[in-house]
Amino acid sequence: ETGVTQTPRHLVMGMTNKKSLKCEQHLGHNAMYWYKQSAKKPLELMFVYSLEERVENNSVPSRFSPECPNSSHLFLHLHTLQPEDSALYLCASSQDGGQSSPLHFGNGTRLTVT
Amino acid sequence: GESVGLHLPTLSVQEGDNSIINCAYSNSASDYFIWYKQESGKGPQFIIDIRSNMDKRQGQRVTVLLNKTVKHLSLQIAATQPGDSAVYFCAENSGGGADGLTFGKGTHLIIQP
């Protein structure tokens, strides 16, 4: 049990589909993150929410749309994705925005875009 | 460019030996550093962290060393076990607000029996 739960674990979708990734944290943290992990590349920060407000949008294409309805839940809505979007999508949470406390990660959603 | 990097992509050690994984960072404003372990099929798992006002910090079988003069971070694992096989990432906060961490590419640690 990591304290951060992501569903689904695996997702295969076509380029015209719409799907959503879900993340839930049970740690009482007030910041949540989406990261993208591609082969042979460092983790890439996509979105940050602190106290349910988005504080960082790292030039992510609009086909990725985050939603944070409360401090425990985070979604990533996907539509009209491209094959190069295939990757492991990791959700994380932290106590103070990541500046002096570690991020805690879920096990990710392995996304394949066909 | 990438401010956090690793010297070796793969490190192979004998079971029972000590392992040292190195990391270089370029942002002198970074004041918080973390080591993560990622096993196959799992997300990164926190191992140990260190703040810039410290040079060394020890945990259970792990030690992190920080050399601010040369901007170098290392993770030492004592008496490596098969369960230590994983990819290890260093990360820094870059002192830039609540925008998460900057990660290196990772070192794959392989434990030989």
The tens digit of pLDDT for each residue in B22-71 reads 999 878 888 999 999 999 989 999 999 999 999 999 999 999 999 999 99
Strands (DSSP E) found in B39-85: 45-51, 56-58, 62-67, 72-77
CA distance A108 to chain B (A): 6
Q: Give B3's pLDDT tier (boundaries 50, 70, 90).
A: very low
User: Considering only CA atoms, which of A65, A28, A30 is closest in space to residue A46?
Assistant: A65
CA distance B92 to chain A (A): 9
| pLDDT 10s digits, A44-101 | 999 999 877 887 776 899 999 999 999 999 999 999 999 999 999 999 999 876 678 8
Residue contact B98–A42, C-beta within 8 A? no
Residue contact A50–B44, C-beta within 8 A? no
The secondary structure of residue A41, as a DSSP letter, is: S
Q: Give A36's pLDDT tier (boundaries 50, 70, 90).
A: very high
Mutate to test the interface with B, among A32, A43, A55 (most CBs of B within 10 A): A43
The secondary structure of residue B61, as a DSSP letter, is: S
Distance CA B113, CA B102 (A): 33
Tokens representing residue A28 in the block: 């009482």
Q: Name A56's bridge partners.
A: A48
Interface of A with B in 9-38 (CB under 8 A): 31, 33, 35
- Nearest CB to A55: which of B4, B41, B98? B98
Amino acid, single-letter form, for residue A94: S
* Under 8 Å between Cβ of B30 and B20: no
On chain B, the residues whose CB falls within 8 A of the CB of A45 are: 99-101
Q: A103 touching B, CB under 8 A?
A: yes
